Amino acid sequence: MSEQPLNPTTAPAPVSGTADEATTADPPATGSVTDAPADDTPVTDTHAPDPVAEAPAGYTPVTDTHATAADLPADEAAALRAASFERARRLRQEPRFPGGPAADPAGSHHERRIRSFQPRRSRVTTGQQEALERLWSTWGLDIDGKRVLDLDQLFGGLPVVLEIGFGMGEATAQMAADDPGTGILAVDVHTPGQGNLLGLADKAGSTNVRVANGDAVILLREMLAPESLDGLRVYFPDPWPKARHHKRRLIQPEFLDLVAPVLKPGAIVHCATDWEPYAEQMLEVLTAHPRFENTAADGGYAPRPAFRPLTRFEGQGLDKGHVVHDLLFARV
């Protein structure tokens, strides 16, 4: 699958693995949840670190339930903190579903940088879990930064479009079913959405979808060959509406610098958002970049292409008076 601008003073910024169609309703705080069902609410992480259970041999737990690390001798407090941090580290690395998407696929490749997505754990339904366990080994892949993908082999020679942030995968599954002659490499970090997309594609009999788990910046920078993609889709990414968070928005000059080399000449970058200020930023950034040219004759927004489905979250936004803008730019 979350997450958008890169931090110009550090390594390239993160990409979402996640566009957020849910922003057509009220924008969420996280950056990789799209088309989430109404009952898909976050739950308390039952794997929260248990410092006492992980404490080193010889450690005697404190019986005072109000005691904290500050109440312990310095060496015992340090041992308690170390045990807690170690267990939290192991939990971040262990997969939720053996044989399914990895919890931290890139490992040491995850630099300290501003991220456009915020992965979160949320409830996985029985159907989503079944799809992950049954289909991940065939149609899923982890973004580990350790190899360059052979897209011809992966998609049987089909032209391939990269979609960053697919949420619950409903729109992606529909586009795959409507256009079986195009391969869709769909990236997100949201586990329920990954399972949902796999299940939907399997139910429709679509074999032209591959689900990628992890940071799309690492995918673009390290795992895609030059001029290997026929297009890029970024639908309803997290708008990060607060001014102090604008640096996290995906569509930034540094992100386009990563995208341009892996796109074939003439490949289309298709963005859509219902957040007016973000649409204006997208138009400004794409127009200013020398490797992209607006396909709209007037240099503005484009009509919604027929191949982009109208999702239920987009419909809810339209009912509230939101205006959805599509942008289609060709790589030159």
- Known catalytic residues? 238
Let me know: does 274 contact 316? Beta carbons within 8 Å.
Answer: no
Which of 307, 233, 305 has the alpha carbon at shortest distance from 270? Answer: 233
Let me know: does 225 contact 148? Beta carbons within 8 Å.
Answer: yes
Pairing of strands 160-164, 183-188: parallel
Which of 296, 121, 115 has the alpha carbon at shortest distance from 216? Answer: 115
Look at residue 112 and give its three-state secondary structure: coil
Residue 199 corresponds to which tokens in the numbers above? 């299940």
Residue 235 parent element (H or E): strand 229-235
Residue 59 corresponds to which tokens in the numbers above? 């450690």
Residue 133 corresponds to which tokens in the numbers above? 């366990």
